[in-house]
Structures are given as structure tokens and as C-alpha cells.
Amino acid sequence: MQSILAVDDSPSMRKMVSFTLSGAGYHVVEAVDGQDALEKAQSHEIDLVLADQNMPRLDGIGLTRKLREDPKFKTIPILILTTESSDQMKQAGRAAGATGWLVKPFDPNRLIEVIKKVIR
Amino acid sequence: MAESYQEGSGAGADFDLSQFYQIFFEEAGENLDQMEHMLLDLDLEKADDEELNGIFRCAHSIKGGAATFGFSDVAELTHQMESLLDRLRRHELQPIPQMVDVLLESADASRSLLARHQAGAQDEAPSTASLVRRISELAAGMVPAPSAPVEPQAPPPPVAKVEPPAPAPAAVAAPSGLRSLHVRIGPLDRMEQAETIKELFRDIPGLGSIADLPCSDTNARLFAVETSSTDSDLLDLFTFHVAKEQVQITEAGSGAAALAAPADPDLAEGAVSNLPPGEAYGFFNNAPGAPAGAPVPAIQAIEPASAVTRIAPKPGAEAKAGSQSQMESTTIRVDVKKVDQLINLVGELVITQAMLAQNSLGLDSATHQQLLAGLADLDRNTRDLQESVMSIRMIPMSIVFSRFPRMLRDLANKLGKKVEMVTLGEATELDKGLVEKITDPLTHLVRNSGDHGIELPADRLAKGKPEHGTITLSASHQGGSIVIEVKDDGRGLSRDKILAKARERGMDVSDQMSDAEVWQLIFAPGFSTAEVVTDVSGRGVGMDVVKRNIAALNGTVEVDSSEGYGTKVSVRLPLTLAIMDGMSVGVGEEVYILPLSSVVESFQVNSEDVNTVAQGSQLVKVRDEYMPVIALEKIFQVPRFDLEKSSTIMVVVEAEGNRVALLVDELLGQHQVVVKNLESNYRKVPNVSGATILGDGRVALILDIGGLVRRARH
């Protein structure tokens, strides 16, 4: 079973994402912010990271940058969830090494569709 | 690829998002509370990034959730708040009090919108249009004229305020020649937003003309505009209705192609604002993990790194926010009913355990060694369990205190006063049941301080006091009680006024009364010395109700005041209502429980120290202090079967600063008792505050020491 690290500071969004992905047959590891995600990524086998952009302590792009520094996470897909699909955000995401982005709000079916495109 | 922003919202075919609503409502409520708290704490002169980011994040989180779960009215309002806050945190705007006001009002409005959704209300939602307009005005850098001071009698409703339409800025139409422009509006959540732009041209004479142009984007509109206004004037106008980022203005002919067909990657380079911001998702070309042959967004042509704005939180922000997220991941939400049921069950367990312990007393320890060891373990485990379960119900006083800064701010605005609030000991914990019941009396006390205590700024200055009045709320543990103090540096109580008012009301008073006795007069029903009755306080409940409510919680209220310098009201409460440390005493065959917190000392009666005074009542001398003696045998008419026995032990108890000596037969011991309400299970009995079940299954009455003391003193 493939594992997805779902990172969001909002409990309701986290629950929604986690429920959706579990329902689609993925194992979900939840993290409450970027910092928490870094710790969880070290203690779990992770196949994909789905991170909210705007979070306390460490945001999605910051998390991506940190994860990419670690050879273990050089190639895994990292998707950024954001409410703003602004170009500045996209540029920053790309520069940090993110695989792609998904604009909030999103439909649960859309989330699975996007995940299936990138997870191996 | 070019899905609209909206399409993602709401539930998909296979997913019922309503199961997450409750979590979202609670989360949004917390975010609104936190935002309100931070807004009130915000120092407008030197607001730091961390605070502004924190407030922004609250609005941002609510918006994200509301949009996801389909609460579009909340999403729209919070989106506006977010836009304003975004400009603030980017230092594009200087925070001003009007912004805090409108954000607080919007938080209130969001709260009531959410409450409607939570209750499943179907009726028409209160309009937030005027709030939205005020926020966008402020976000556009306009400062509305300060509103006239509000009359105390007519507080404005926080939501659904109807205001005249925004006056068009006078300087829109410049006398220069007409320019032909192309204006692209989008991506839009609601396409009708673009219509409002067209209406602007219709409503504002001299602004120019507007006409539709075909647009390839389904969630954007393109217009041909002829106007003599400058781009920035137009932008200011448009941002009443749409976000600044949603507006692109170009000279007709030059950039029209880019606007009409924004997905052309060649145009993306160096012209970031022309990129299509509308896709619902996308992958970066050649990025790690990106699918081969995946839909490629226009971003591919952009040079990375150099052009990137790095968003890194400040180290300080990390540390501060850290504790918050820590808290979130280590707590669970439980229905209070479940906790209460748990407490009840543990209470029963404590009683059963006590019964077993009692029954095992006569057992031979040699033959029943294992059983007795087991019972000893049970005793210890029960006690530990009881303590842990009780601690679940304990919540910090900050829950109560946090509502006051906002209330005081509104009150001060209404009365034209300047009040600062200081809170101390917010972490002090108190039983949830008590917290709920103490909130109203405390609210009343704080209001009183703000309304009657703190003087108007001019009066304060005239008295040589600082313009700002200070109200200090503090909570602390003292022994088995919690003491909550409401202190102000206002005008204080006037001894003369109180005495005059008391005489007017025909109360029995004299000039020789001590200050403490005079202050107690304010607790008389209907007593008020306020010269002007405002809608804030002075009507409705008085201090008598405050005192009665606190007494019902086994608590006491004390007042201390100094005219011209301020007033301090101290409320003393037991930590919990459910379990009490008691001392059991025997009278005849009966057992009574005294709350241990009120027991001062006990001693064997020395007949020389007891004097009988008028009407057979007795006084006992304890270390040079005379106190009334109450024989429990007489009060409760305890039958005597063993005439050899008599009451020879006195227990000194204290309540409301007065002491009495209770005459009992024997002291049986100290233990924790589970308090059962006698009134709801039987009826109210004078001098008794409740009952408990003893280890042998008998019921013992818990004495109401306050009642006994009052009985003896009067």
C-alpha cells in the first residue's frame, strides 16, 4: 500500500484529505505543519507528499525545499495545495522542487485523479 | 485544463463532505476567536509581521475550509478580510483603527453566518455586502470618515448594517484625452462580479464607456473601455468589486492578444501578470516526480531561483506557533456529557470501593491476606482514577477571560472611555461547570468596572490619573479555592453616597459602620448608586444577583474600595463542585460532613469556656475570641438512643469571614466525598448543601456552613 504524507494545519482539511485518500486505498500519514511533516517523513515510508502552502512554523514551499535537500526525498512527488494559483506561488513552488500544485477548494475526485497521475 | 476555480468546491459524486462540517465549524470558531484575540492585541503603531501573519492565516484558513465545504458566503467575506490582511502583512498599507473595527465586525458576521450553517437555517442570510464594501475600501487605501460617536442607547447591530452606496471618488475623471483600453477581469468566482464593473461605468458620469469583448477564458471577462481616467484610478474603482490581482489593464492594440489568449507561453516570460492563474492543478515540467507527457502548464518557460520570492517564516514565528500546533496534535475533542458520565461512574466506583473497605474491616488479615492486598490496591487505583478523571473537567480561566477584552473595547467605545485590560493567572484551572456558571457574574463585575468605575478620560486627567483606565482580572489558587479578582483604578465606591442611598431605601445603617460593612450594602437587592442609568449596566441584574449566583457555587464575594482610587471585587470559589474534601462528624447515630475547607480547628469542650447568654444561646471563648456555639443535635433534632453519650467536641468552622463552633459527639475522619445534589433528588433542606453516600451505603448530609454561620450571627 502506498503512503501519502498529508500536511495541513487545518484539521478539517486534513480529515477531508485523509478520508478521501484512505477511501482510494492509500495509507495516509497526517502532519499538522511543515515542521511536523519533516519529522513524520523521517519516521515513515512516504511515497508522496501533499502539502498545504500556508501553514505556521514551516510552509509548503519551505517543506518542499527541505525535503529535496535529503537524497531520500529527491524524487518523490510533492504536491502543493494552495488557495492562490498565483504565478509567484508557482514560481516559488517550482524553484523549491515541487512536482505540481493543486488549487483549493478542490473536489475529492479531482484530488485522487491528480494523485494517480504522479504516484508510482 | 482550464477548469474554473469554482468547480472544485462542493462535494464530489462519491463523497459526502457534510461529515467534516462539524470539525470545520469548531476549527473556524477557534480561528475566529484567535483572530479576534490577536486583533485586540494588535499594536497599530508597530504591528509586527508575526502578528499580522497570524491574523492573516486565521482568515486564510477559514476561507479555505469554507470554500471547500461549500459555505460560499463565509468564503467570500473571509476572502475580503484576507485581501485586506494580505496588504497589511506586505506593508502595502498601514494598519488603522477602522481596519481593526471592520475586521472585528466581519469576524462577528462570519461567526453568525457559520452558526446559521451549523443550525441548517434555510432563511435568507444576513447581508454582508456593506462589510465587504468597507473592507475593500480600506484595502484600496481609502480611509472612511470617522463615524460619529455612538449614542449609548442605540448600539449598532454588528451585521447587516445598511449604509448608503459608496460615493464615487471625485478625482476619477481627469480632463486629459480619451484612452482606449482593454480590461481583463478574472479569474472570477462568480461571473456576475464582472457585471458590477460594467455598472460602474453606468453609475459614474464621465467615467467613460465599456463594451464586452470575446474572451477565451471561461472564468474571465474582457472589456473594451474608453476613458479619460488613469489606470490607477480605474484600479481603485474596480477593487471595490474584485481583487486587484483579478484586474489587468492594457492599452488597446498593444497587449490585447495576450489578454485574449493568455495561455501563450511565449508571453509568459518577463510578463508574469499575464500568466493564466486559473488552472485547478498542474505539474512543473521536468520536476521530480512529474508525470511524463502530463498537461504542461505555462509556467515551464519561467527561469527559476533568481526571480523567486522566498517565503521563509521568521525564527521567532516558528517557536511561537510551534506550541500551538503541538497542542492541536495532542488533544482530542470529547462531548462534555461523556466526561460527566465518566465522573458519575467514577463517583459510584469510589462509593463501592469505600463500601468494600468498610466491609473488610472485620476480616482476619492472616486468612484474607490476598483479598486485603487487593483491596488496598483498589483503594489506591480508585483515588488515582478519580483524580485523573476530575482533571479532565478542569479548564483554564483564559476561556472566561478571553471574552472580556472585546467586551470592554466595545463598552469603552460606546461610553467614550479609554480602558485597558490586564489579565493575570489565565492558566489557573477551574472545573468546567464552575467556569460556565461564573462567566455571567464576572461579566457583570467587569461591566460595572468599565461603566461605573472607570471615569471619562477628561475626568481622569483632571484628577491627575492616566487617561487610560485599567481593569485587572486575575485568577489564582489559594488553598482549596480559586480566587478571581476584578480590580479597576476608577472612581471607587463612595461611602457617603452608599449610606445616603441606603437611608433613602429605609435600610438600617449608621455612620459608625466599618467600610467593609458599608461595601456589603451594595449587595442588597435593587441597590444602585449610579447617577445615570445606561444600557450597559445599572439595569437588569444587580450585585445582589451576582452575590446569590456566587453563593450558589459555594463561593463568596468581597469588595474593597477606596474612593478616588478604585475598587476590587474578589470572588472565591471551590475548585470543583463534584467532589469535596470533607470531615465526617458523628452526632448520635447520624453522620454529617463538613467541607474541610471551612474547618478551622477542633477541640474538647472545656465547660468553663462556654457561657450561656440570652435565650439560651451559648458562646464559647477560643483564644480570647467569643463565637456562637451551634449544637447540631438541636438543629437537626437528632434522636438520642444512648443517653450516656453527649456532644463534647467542638469544631470551629468559618464562612464569609465569621466563625462559629459546632458541637458534635465525635470526629470520624477526613475523606473525599462525592457530592450528590439533595435538591434535585429530594428537596431543599435548610442548613444542608448536599448529601453523599458513605462507605456502608448510608446517606450523610453535607452541612451548609454559610447558612449555619448566618443563622448563628443573626
Which CATH class, in words, describes the domain spanning B579-713?
mainly beta
Please count the other Cβ atoms lying within 10 Å of the Cβ belonging to residue B621: 14
Beta-carbon contacts below 8 Å between A and B: 195
Choose, out of B325, B326, B329, the residue to mutate when testing the contact with A (most A CBs < 10 Å): B325
Return the number of other C-beta atoms located less than 10 Å from residue B112's C-beta: 15
Q: Output the CATH code of domain B179-277.
A: 3.30.70
Of B25 and B355, the one with more pLDDT:
B25
The string of pLDDT tens digits covering residues A45-70 is: 889 999 998 888 898 999 999 999 98
Q: Can you tell me the mean pLDDT for B704-710?
A: 84
**DSSP per position, B461-498:** HHTT--SSEEEEEEEEEETTEEEEEEEE-SS---HHHH
What is the residue type of A37? A
Q: Write down the pLDDT at residue B301.
A: 36
Q: Around Cβ B227, how many Cβ atoms within 10 Å?
A: 23
* Among the listed residues B577, B562, B546, the one whose alpha carbon sits nearest the alpha carbon of residue B484: B546
Chain B: nearest CA to A66, how far in angstroms?
A: 11
Residue B124 contacts A, CB cutoff 8 Å: no
In DSSP terms, which residues pair with B583 in a beta bridge? B594, B670
Ramachandran class of B195: left when φ > 0, alpha when ψ lies in -120 to 50, beta otherwise: alpha
Q: Where are the domains of chain A?
A: 3-118
DSSP label at B68?
A: H
Residue B208 CB-half CA count within 13 A: 26
Q: Chain A residues with CB inside 8 Å of B54's CB?
A: 56
Of B60, B245, B322, Cβ closest to residue A83: B60
Q: Which residue of chain A is at minimal alpha-carbon distance from B303? A: A91
Confidence of residue B268 (pLDDT cuts 50, 70, 90): very low
Interface probe, candidates A18, A55, A57, chain B, greatest B C-beta count within 10 A: A57
C-alpha closest to that of A118 among A67, A47, A65, A59: A47
Q: Which pLDDT value is given to residue B556?
A: 83
Lowest mean pLDDT among B25-34, B527-536, B687-696: B527-536
For B285, which residue in chain A has the nearest alpha carbon? A99
pLDDT at B414: 84
What is the least distance, in Å, from the CA of B515 to any CA of chain A?
53
B172–chain A nearest CA distance, Å: 29
pLDDT at A104: 81
- Cβ–Cβ gap B67/A105 under 8 Å: yes
Strand, helix or coil for residue B282:
strand
For residues B699-705, average pLDDT: 89
DSSP E strands in B535-657: the ranges are 556-562, 566-574, 579-587, 590-595, 599-604, 610-612, 618-622, 625-631, 649-655
pLDDT in tens, B376-430: 999 899 888 988 887 888 888 888 888 888 888 888 888 889 999 898 888 888 8
- Asked if A54 contacts B60 with a C-beta cutoff of 8 angstroms, the reply is yes
Residue of B67, B272, B284 with shortest CB distance to A104: B67
User: Residue B502 and residue B397: Cα distance in Å, rounded?
Assistant: 35
pLDDT tens-digit map of B571-585: 988 776 667 778 999
Residue B279: list chain A partners with CB under 8 A: 85, 103
Tally Cβ neighbours within 10 Å of residue B192: 9
**Which of B285-294, B305-314, B489-498 holds the top average pLDDT?**
B489-498
- Would you say residue B314 has pLDDT above 50? no
Q: How many CA atoms lie within 13 A of B461 on its CB side?
A: 6
Q: Which range among B109-113, B175-179, B434-438, B573-577 has the greatest average pLDDT?
A: B109-113
Q: Does B279 touch chain A (CB under 8 A)?
A: yes
What residues of chain B lie within 8 A of the CB of A84, using their CB?
277
Binary contact (A100, B281; C-beta < 8 A): yes
Region B137-154: mean pLDDT is 60
For residue B708, the surrounding DSSP H or E stretch is: helix B705-713
Q: Is the pTM of this model over 0.95?
A: no
Q: Which of B99-108, B201-210, B399-408, B533-542 has the highest mean pLDDT?
A: B99-108
Tell me if B513 sits within 8 A of B599, measured CB to CB.
no
Reply yes or no on whether the pLDDT at B510 is more than 70. yes
Indicate yes or no: CB of B288 within 8 angstroms of CB of A99. yes
Which among A12, A20, A109 is the nearest to B27, CB-wise?
A: A12
Contact B448, B537 (CB under 8 A): yes
Mean pLDDT of chain B: 76
Which SS3 state, helix, strand or coil, does residue B36 take?
helix
Q: At B511, is the secondary structure helix, strand, or coil?
A: coil
Residue B283 confidence class, pLDDT cut points 50, 70, 90: confident
**What are B480's three cell numbers?**
482549596
- Cα–Cα distance, A108 to B68 (Å, whole number): 10
User: Is any Cβ of chain A less than 8 angstroms from the Cβ of B117?
Assistant: no
Q: Check CB contact of B589 with chain A, cutoff 8 Å.
A: no
**Model confidence band, residue B292 (pLDDT cutoffs 50, 70, 90):** low
Residue of A nearest to B332 (CA): A11
Among B60, B294, B328, whose Cβ lies nearest the Cβ of A11?
B328
| Distance (Å, whole) CA A25 – CA A45 | 16
Q: Is B671's pLDDT higher than 50?
A: yes
Q: Which chain B residue's Cα is nearest to A81?
A: B281
Residue B464 in grid coordinates: 491627575
Taking an 8 Å cut-off on Cβ atoms, the answer to whether A117 and B291 are in contact is yes
CATH code reported for the domain at B396-574: 3.30.565.10
Q: How far is CA B582 from CA B253, B352, B357, B433, B592, in A?
A: 89, 18, 18, 20, 9
* Residue B55 Cα to chain centre, angstroms: 17
The Cα B714–Cα B712 span in angstroms is 6
Are the beta carbons of B60 and A54 separated by less than 8 Å?
A: yes
pLDDT at A6: 93
To 10 degrees, what angle do helices B315-329 and A34-43 make?
60
CATH number of the A3-118 domain? 3.40.50.2300
CATH of span B17-139:
1.20.120.160
Residue A64, CA distances (Å) to A50, B97, B281 in order = 10, 38, 17
d(CA B457, CA B415): 10
DSSP state of B162: -
Q: Identify which has the larger pLDDT, B131 or B304.
A: B131
CA angle B445, B447, B451 (to 5 degrees): 120
pLDDT at B286: 75
Q: Is the peptide bond before A105 cis (omega within 30 degrees of 0)?
A: yes
pLDDT on residue B529: 58
Q: For the sheet containing B469-478, what is the strand order?
A: B419-424, B469-478, B481-488, B566-574, B556-562
Angle B432-B437-B438 (CA atoms, 0-180°, nearest 5)?
95
Would you state the torsion angle of the CA atoms of residues B524, B525, B526, B530, taken in this order, to the nearest 10 degrees? 30
